[in-house]
Structure 1
């Protein structure tokens, strides 16, 4: 059974990456916070890693990935205060020609509102998407962060 605060490892071509299960949203499913770094060996002090600043939040099918063996549970730690609950997300549809989002929406887990173009601070907000393990691994390997997303 998956519990809030559970830490999981996922293997990438660069080593092991870690994420923490934060909550389950009624529509989007399991929300995780991806922790910084990729490691050849499991970190000796997982508690310190858990307390580091979150790389990004994303929705990810934790139960399915665990059942299929794509991830491994490595422990359970309290979620840092600054990472508890639902962060504000951004969402938008890319223009089919430009491949860029022209009108962004913000979403707080319950309601959403259009903001149009986003500010530099809003660009740091997590993107409301559900990723599979393949995309999660690729984004971790690429050092992806929401503010570097080119949409």
Structure 2
């Protein structure tokens, strides 16, 4: 079973990408921090990557993916201080006509509140969602970041 701090790799068309399992949430499941896109690293390089900033946060079924062989645990490392607290997420429903969210909500892992329109800086906040392996791989390959999300 996956433990907080475990670092995994997942196969992409560019090679292996890396992420760290950081939290368990009763509602959303396993929270991961995806590292900046650097592929096929040696163990020493991965240890350096762990201390880097997070590319994006997303909920992902870590234990199920590991059992199915979709991801592979490569090491265990302490979660850096800058990534040890639960991130603030943004959430909203896109208008079916425009594809845009006009009323955003924030969630801190305990409570949710409406904020309406968000600033460019707030667009960098992670989007509250749970992804499967197919979407995680696609987003890594595309260089996706929350602030690039068209909603």
TM range (shorter): over 0.9
How do 1:1-151 and structure 2 match up within 5 A? 1-151=1-151
Q: What is the CA-CA distance between 1:85 and the residue it aligns to?
A: 2.4
Q: What is the CA-CA distance between 1:44 and the residue it aligns to?
A: 3.5
Secondary structure, aligned partner of 1:45? helix
The answer (yes or no) to whether the contact 2:17–2:40 under 8 Å persists in 1 is: no
Quick one: distance in 1 between partners of 2:12 and 2:43? 15
Q: 4+ residue stretches of structure 1 with deviation over 3 A?
A: 40-44
How high is the TM-score relative to the length of structure 2? Answer: 0.97
Q: What is the CA-CA distance between 1:41 and the residue it aligns to?
A: 4.5
Gaps of 5+ in 1: none
Gaps of 5+ in 2: none
Quick one: distance in 1 between partners of 2:91 and 2:140? 20
Q: What is the CA-CA distance between 1:79 and the residue it aligns to?
A: 0.7
| Cα offsets for 1:65-97 (capped at 9, x unmatched) | 001110000000111101012110000001011
Secondary structure, aligned partner of 2:93? coil
Quick one: distance in 2 between partners of 1:89 and 1:107? 5
Q: What is the CA-CA distance between 1:37 and the residue it aligns to?
A: 1.9
The answer (yes or no) to whether the contact 1:6–1:77 under 8 Å persists in 2 is: yes
Quick one: distance in 1 between partners of 2:70 and 2:90? 27
Query: Which shifted more, 35-44 or 124-133?
Result: 35-44
Q: What is the CA-CA distance between 1:43 and the residue it aligns to?
A: 5.0
How high is the TM-score relative to the length of structure 1? Answer: 0.97
Q: What is the CA-CA distance between 1:45 and the residue it aligns to?
A: 2.4
Secondary structure, aligned partner of 2:49? helix
Quick one: distance in 2 between partners of 1:142 and 1:4? 27
- Aligned length in residues: 151
